Amino acid sequence: MTDTAAAKARLEAQLEELERRRDHIARDLDEPLNPDSSERAVEMEDDAALEGQGALVEGGIASVKRALARIEEGEYGVCVRCGGEIAEKRLEARPEAALCIACASKEG
């Protein structure tokens, strides 16, 4: 049986870290571009990479928030697709996991 209190603590810590990363990326993206054209081109490439990282971080935040909601609803550790149990080891490795291994392997 999954220790939801420990999972919740890990997820909350993960959410805090992801939100810090999101805020850091947002601050970096808010910085004005260098007026020098060659520097500006490099900064624009960097910004594009940061925007990609930001999208990944936002996805992570959404996954963690959904996992926290599943804890509150008493559905944590239950596959959202098939209703089967998500293995303890999987939840230890990925506390935000919403799918059991069988369903996750069908996805990718």
pLDDT digits 0-9 by tens, 40-78 = 788 888 889 999 999 999 999 999 999 999 999 999 999
Per the model's pLDDT, the better-predicted residue between 31 and 67 turns out to be: 67
- Beta strand residue intervals within the chain, DSSP E: none
Average pLDDT over all residues of the chain: 92
Say how far apart CA 28 and CA 94 lie, in whole Å. Answer: 28
Residue whose structure tokens are 């020098």: 36
Percent pLDDT > 70 in the chain is 97
* Confidence band for 108, pLDDT divided at 50, 70 and 90: low
Q: What structural domains and CATH numbers belong to the chain? A: 4-107 (1.20.120.910)
pLDDT at 32: 87
Which tokens is 59 given? 């996805």
